[in-house]
Structure 1
Amino acid sequence: MAEPILEIENLSISFFTRIGEIPAVMNFSATVMPGQALGLVGESGCGKSTVALGVMRDLGASGRIVGGSIRFKGRDLVTMPDADLRRIRGSEIAMIYQEPMASLNPAMKVGAQLMEVPMIHEGIGAAEARARALRVVDAVRLPDPPRILGSYPHQLSGGQQQRIVIAMALMAQPALLILDEPTTALDVTVEAGIVQLVKDLGRDFGTSMLFISHNLGLVLETCDRICVMYSGEAVETGPIAEVFDEMRHPYTQGLFRSIPLPGADKTSRPLIAIPGNFPLPHERPPGCNFGPRCGCFEKGRCDATDVPMLPVSSSHASRCLRFHEIDWTAPPIIATRAEPAPIGDVVLSARELRKYYRVGSGGLFGGDSTRVVKANESVSFEAREAETLAIVGESGCGKSTLAKVLLGLETASDGAVQLGELEIGQRTIGSRDTRTVADIQMVFQNPFDTLNPSQSIGTQIIRVLEKFRFGDGHAAREAKMLELLDLVKLPRAFARRMPRQLSGGQKQRIGIARAFAGAPRAVVADEPVSALDVSVQAAVTDLLMDIQRRHRTTMLFISHDLGVVRYLADRVMVMYLGHVVEIGGTDQVFQPPYHPYTEALLSAVPIADTSVKRKRIVLTGDIPSAVNPPPGCPFQTRCPRKAQTGSDLCETEMPPFRELAPGHHVKCHLPSEVFAAMEPVIRLAGAES
């Protein structure tokens, strides 16, 4: 038997603050074998990143390992002298962080940053280091390695920057690679390429990996084993397929019920959020940490003593006293089933909307000409009362620019935008009357940046009501504020709390309360759940749907998460480089025939279901610049089906907007027989799609 690369046994890590010791990780054990990838999953604050930093012995001034051992190739890192640690870090153990620009020096060229790794750790010369850098850049599939080495980080896209960070980690050929949410900030198509790259590198270089993620689909694709963490403890561990198909801890089951797997439906099969809140380290309950949120909790037993990891099989363990008593095949209990809201008349529409920006070409460098950025090009859509229209596409496709025009933060360069009978495309928010401003509101992506840290929650909601001229006095507005807290299912006592006293999900609920304070006709939700944990995502998503059904609000839901889109959207609009390339009902867009770009987006979505088989389509290249878009079809430079047109139309002519079925349109030159022969990208075992 091979010796483990990494063996963590009964690891306990605490942070020492003014209020005393705060245990962050308790009695954590895990093993990574040579060439193996272990996935660490769980909600924010569960201790995943703390374990990784413990392995690197990089816990800062307040963090300390208070128990257990971390053996790397048989040597205990906990007791290892600092000089030996410095030789191991970056050479034998490397770490890749979530935000690539946090790991790159903006003042140094990429080549110099890559070359210094082996020059420092191995003492090799500059020529040999550059040759290795060229080989590694080629290994991470970046085009034109000499040009990449001569570039500064800001001259590369986000996906290219992340590949450089991976290349930097590989420069010293480490035995263990720690990846902490390495794809969170990337588009789904870029994410697919990075995931495939990580899998190939593990196979080609024999590198062992500790892969930290909240995305169960990514872990399924990337890892051999999984460890689920909750409140500083491992609660379930085992081989990927066994844990996914035969989970034996209620928290693991709760995570899976919180994510929109194929088959989930917002009316007939809604997501089920884990009840309650994640416990703070100094508020952990006696016995099972998950007990207060567990539907299988047994008083006097589950809270009587600390719960150990118990064997489920020879390679599968669970921290649950009742795992052998629970009926894991029983369907979830759904308290109420929502009736689908009937779709009404058109509330918000756009016709041939264009938004161009004129930018200088560099007066700083002596130039005085201007260039045009075509952010939105010929965008047309209709959104109806009580309908959810999802807008999807990669970064730079024009989604957020469209939202700014709708909200009056920008004006349209051409075309028309109507809210009911009112033309709003040329009206900035400053020139709109109070009722129009209230009629179209926004829920933002990051709930942390939308609240004033120095004002109470109640005061901030009342201020919105004042702006919308609600009621005839403070008493009426205060009563309405309390009703809004009821609407978003928060206790009325939260009116007196400050934002710092709220969790991320609670802050987003306040953002929703403010958006609905003026009884809007339409709400633009820009990635409203992407910054939240999966269980909180489920609660916030269903809250939005519940409020929409009650108030019959039109919702434009901007997202890159096609799983969430499939769950909640009535119709889907796919954008690429400022163009609408496909629009139709959700069922139409998620099954063939597709636009080739939609097909690639769907193939890139990681799905946490072992029964799902996906066709792999990894797009190469980056989205072209909106300053200099390609001739003909905007997607032709990356389209894997361009050759099937049998002509050069894609490179010379803008495609027509064709109707494939009633209500389903694509902008594409592909012949009808190609569309007719398309196969599903996503297949379920025993199903056609």
Structure 2
Amino acid sequence: MLDQTPESTASVTGAYDGPILEISNLSISFFTRLREIPAVMDFSCSVMPGEAMGLVGESGCGKSTVALGVMQDLGVNGRVVGGTIKYKGRDLNAMSAEELRAIRGREIAMIYQEPMASLNPAMRIGQQLIEVPMIHEGISEKEAWARALEMVSDVRLPDPERMLRSYPHQLSGGQQQRIVIAMALMSKPSLLILDEPTTALDVTVEAAVVDLVKDLGRKYGTSMLFISHNLGLVLETCDRICVMYSGEAVETGAIADVFDEMRHPYTQALFRSIPLPGADKTTRPLRAIPGNFPLPHERPPGCNFGPRCDYFETGRCDAGSISMAAIAHGDRHQSRCLRLDEIDWDAPMALREEQQATVKGDVVLKVENLKKYYEVAASALFGRGEKRVVKANESLSFEARESETLAIVGESGCGKSTLAKVLMGLETATDGEVLLDGRAIQDIAIEQRDTRTVSSIQMVFQNPFDTLNPSMTVGRQIMRALEVFGLGKNDAERRARMLELLDLVKLPRAFAERMPRQLSGGQKQRVGIARAFAGGARIVVADEPVSALDVSVQAAVTDLLMEIQRREKTTLLFISHDLSIVRYLSDRVMVMYLGHVVEIGTTDQVFSPPYHPYTEALLSAVPIADTKVTKKHIVLEGDIPSAMNPPPGCPFQTRCGWKAEVPGNLCETQIPPMRRMAEGHDIKCHLAEDILARMEPVITIPDQA
């Protein structure tokens, strides 16, 4: 887009001390052939200079629509039908196309969830970066290149010259996202909109990117609108928060006011459904929000949250529209609740009844010195050159018992998914043993496995949208799994079992006739769980099963997995990078790094010092939505090394902050042995025991301080 002349860029300039962004009573609708669909209604918020505002809520609540409204990019079907969006006092909706072009990119920039959606795969990074100030400010290519080098250094990328000469595909996901941030900041905008910018990133990379965004915001005085469903991330990043539900703002205020003095039932329900420190699957189980999120054209009368609210009062809450009301205490704290002054907000949250703890049985799965290597050409693109070995899994050893939940955690590229593929038979092992009920299965590919073995190890995948056949009904897909497992003599028997499975995952039996497109994300994941348990699975490998779901749906699906496990005595291997959910539901935790198991133990052992230095960094990176919790600040530098060219010695030594405590060059030359710290707790590390004993807790909870 080189149609922008330098003269037209100075549309909103000079010092400005009012709100950078002021949204008043905004309503946005999308128009289809059938009806008008209101996406955002009566929405108001303001962002002051240098302030970061967090926008949170479930999928479909209107967060991204607000952002697109600010960018004036609602497409052909969307338009503002009420209210105003003002940038530095000027109504964006009243601006001409030329005026908007002058502001977008230079004054208001946006960072999207998927970095590759913002990068041109056919252009070098440098060319994409220098275009921004050259187009918007009319500066020379030499000046733009110097600024690009400075900005790439600011986003903490190594070797800026090399980065600018690279193509997007030559960068990792975290590096791509940093380049997108650099691109957004090239013209030093006054307002930066971030739409779920870290969802696709590892927790350690997420921590580094969030740290970076905060530092750059302070350096350039940039105001931010930070869209996220992660309350912990908003707590660490923002000054103020606005909670949205079904197109409306339901509560807004300073972070401390909303987190510590929440005054809307939806905000309260959100916090009940996330695994904060102290939550426990048996003694303090999470409370999922009852009911379902309403579709835009099926909203209830009165309060949108009414049908799911603990305090709903018929005849009042559903009588008419409800406006935002000011709350006496706090900084511009407001809530959209009719019973604001009647509810005892300080009453302790009602806990769900205590669940029965599972009794661990015999060892079902035993893995001994498992290795999985891949041989690839050095030039993988053309298949030429010498052969190189990728060591995806290196000497893995662990056991899993009946009714036990073993969490497997680590960054992308650590070997979690490769391990899952070997267990499933999608890959065979290079060396070592995998014993299922004492039977060796490591060399048997899935095509050669008998029906009993296939049905014994099943998988629940990360993305429920990609795992169902869009052309088959839900019932037929579950019945097809029963056919494959050889269960049921005829269709009638299989149909009866299919209906029982729908009952098991708490879906109405009428859903058997529905197509996948008619189901929500959480409902699709329940169908995936029903299919996994169809053959009476002994082991279920759950690969990030809730990461694609909203926090309230996460609680319901997690609760469902636990309930089925108690009933079926299933062994659950829970693969995740979300250590909050891992702490809540796992009995034991296995931490992986670059193909190695670096720590394994009970959940309490792994979450309490002494830690492996990598575990310590992982725990520090977890965003926690609790203002009372204090956390040690550790940001890992650099990316996880390549499994094709791993570092010598300890696999973690290139990023370890404790390496200086080990005398000589032991970390660089020798792989550490597994060491027993306590019964059932092993760590692969060279650190001396007296140094490990000095480690302090990463996360400190007030009543445990």
TM-score, length-scaled by structure 1: 0.99
Match for residue 662 of structure 2 among 645, 653, 672: 645
1:662 is the counterpart of 2:651: no
Amino acid at match of 1:579: H
Q: What is the distance in 2 between the residues matched to 1:674 and 1:517? A: 49
The aligned counterpart of 2:389 is 372
The aligned counterpart of 1:362 is 379
Q: What is the distance in 2 between the residues matched to 1:33 and 1:168? A: 23
SS of 1:349's partner is strand
SS of 2:356's partner is coil
Q: What is the distance in 2 between the residues matched to 1:410 and 1:382? A: 20
The aligned counterpart of 2:5 is none
SS of 1:64's partner is strand
Q: What is the distance in 2 between the residues matched to 1:457 and 1:365? A: 42
Task: State the Cα distance separating 1:365 from its structure 2 match.
Answer: 5.7
Equivalent positions of 1:194-593 (< 5 A) are 194-313=209-328, 315-362=332-379, 367-593=384-610
Amino acid at match of 1:578: G
1:123 is the counterpart of 2:138: yes
Task: State the Cα distance separating 1:417 from its structure 2 match.
Answer: 0.2
The aligned counterpart of 1:154 is 169
Amino acid at match of 2:607: F
Task: State the Cα distance separating 1:361 from its structure 2 match.
Answer: 1.8
SS of 2:326's partner is strand
Q: What is the distance in 1 between the residues matched to 2:226 and 2:152? A: 22
Task: State the Cα distance separating 1:330 from its structure 2 match.
Answer: 2.6
SS of 1:449's partner is coil
Amino acid at match of 2:303: C
Q: What is the distance in 2 between the residues matched to 1:363 and 1:212? A: 38
Kept in 1, the 8 Å contact 2:204–2:635? The answer is yes
Q: What is the distance in 1 between the residues matched to 2:615 and 2:410? A: 9
Amino acid at match of 1:636: Q
SS of 1:116's partner is helix
Q: What is the distance in 1 between the residues matched to 2:357 and 2:382? A: 58
The aligned counterpart of 2:4 is none
Q: What is the distance in 2 between the residues matched to 1:366 and 1:382? A: 38
Q: What is the distance in 1 between the residues matched to 2:643 and 2:381? A: 22
The aligned counterpart of 1:41 is 56
Listed one character per residue, the Cα deviations across residues 331-386 of structure 1 (whole Å, up to 9, x for unaligned) are 33345421101111100110000000001122766843211000000001100000
Q: What is the distance in 1 between the residues matched to 2:382 and 2:440? A: 41
The aligned counterpart of 2:651 is 634
The aligned counterpart of 1:13 is 28
Between the two proteins, the alignment pairs up a number of residues equal to 688
Q: What is the distance in 2 between the residues matched to 1:8 and 1:334? A: 38
| Structure 1 residues 364 and 192: alpha-carbon distance in aligned structure 2, compared to 1, 3 A threshold | closer
The aligned counterpart of 2:7 is none
| Structure 1 residues 660 and 23: alpha-carbon distance in aligned structure 2, compared to 1, 3 A threshold | same
| Structure 1 residues 376 and 465: alpha-carbon distance in aligned structure 2, compared to 1, 3 A threshold | same
Q: What is the distance in 2 between the residues matched to 1:334 and 1:225? A: 29
Amino acid at match of 1:675: L
Q: What is the distance in 2 between the residues matched to 1:224 and 1:354? A: 48
Kept in 1, the 8 Å contact 2:284–2:352? The answer is no
Identity of aligned residues (%): 74
Moved more, 364-373 or 626-635: 364-373
Task: State the Cα distance separating 1:677 from its structure 2 match.
Answer: 0.4
Match for residue 602 of structure 1 among 603, 619, 623: 619
Moved more, 449-458 or 386-395: 449-458
Q: What is the distance in 2 between the residues matched to 1:297 and 1:519? A: 41
Amino acid at match of 1:34: P
| Structure 1 residues 37 and 385: alpha-carbon distance in aligned structure 2, compared to 1, 3 A threshold | same
| Structure 1 residues 378 and 251: alpha-carbon distance in aligned structure 2, compared to 1, 3 A threshold | same
Q: What is the distance in 2 between the residues matched to 1:588 and 1:661? A: 9
Amino acid at match of 2:173: G
Kept in 1, the 8 Å contact 2:378–2:384? The answer is yes
Q: What is the distance in 1 between the residues matched to 2:380 and 2:326? A: 68
Task: State the Cα distance separating 1:647 from its structure 2 match.
Answer: 2.1
The aligned counterpart of 1:77 is 92
Q: What is the distance in 2 between the residues matched to 1:218 and 1:368? A: 45
Unpaired stretches in structure 2, ≥5 consecutive residues:
1-15
Q: What is the distance in 2 between the residues matched to 1:96 and 1:35? A: 17
Q: What is the distance in 2 between the residues matched to 1:527 and 1:653? A: 33
Q: What is the distance in 2 between the residues matched to 1:154 and 1:503? A: 33
Kept in 1, the 8 Å contact 2:285–2:352? The answer is no
Q: What is the distance in 1 between the residues matched to 2:381 and 2:288? A: 53
Listed one character per residue, the Cα deviations across residues 156-210 of structure 1 (whole Å, up to 9, x for unaligned) are 1111100000000000110000000000000000000000011111111100000
Amino acid at match of 1:481: M
Amino acid at match of 1:216: L
Q: What is the distance in 2 between the residues matched to 1:120 and 1:623? A: 36
Match for residue 107 of structure 2 among 73, 92, 97: 92
Task: State the Cα distance separating 1:680 from its structure 2 match.
Answer: 0.1
Q: What is the distance in 1 between the residues matched to 2:564 and 2:236? A: 35
Q: What is the distance in 1 between the residues matched to 2:19 and 2:114? A: 29
TM-score, length-scaled by structure 2: 0.97
Amino acid at match of 2:403: A
Amino acid at match of 1:399: K
Q: What is the distance in 2 between the residues matched to 1:260 and 1:410? A: 34
The aligned counterpart of 1:139 is 154
Q: What is the distance in 2 between the residues matched to 1:19 and 1:232? A: 20
1:676 is the counterpart of 2:673: no
The aligned counterpart of 1:190 is 205
Task: State the Cα distance separating 1:7 from its structure 2 match.
Answer: 0.3
| Structure 1 residues 381 and 364: alpha-carbon distance in aligned structure 2, compared to 1, 3 A threshold | closer
Q: What is the distance in 2 between the residues matched to 1:328 and 1:381? A: 46
Listed one character per residue, the Cα deviations across residues 573-625 of structure 1 (whole Å, up to 9, x for unaligned) are 00000000000000000000000000000000000000011001100011111
Q: What is the distance in 2 between the residues matched to 1:266 and 1:363? A: 46
Q: What is the distance in 1 between the residues matched to 2:658 and 2:572? A: 33
1:165 is the counterpart of 2:180: yes
1:621 is the counterpart of 2:638: yes
Q: What is the distance in 2 between the residues matched to 1:73 and 1:293? A: 38
Q: What is the distance in 1 between the residues matched to 2:517 and 2:34? A: 18
Amino acid at match of 1:403: A
Q: What is the distance in 1 between the residues matched to 2:385 and 2:40? A: 58
Amino acid at match of 1:129: A
Listed one character per residue, the Cα deviations across residues 291-350 of structure 1 (whole Å, up to 9, x for unaligned) are 000010000000011010011135100000112211223333345421101111100110
Unpaired stretches in structure 1, ≥5 consecutive residues:
none
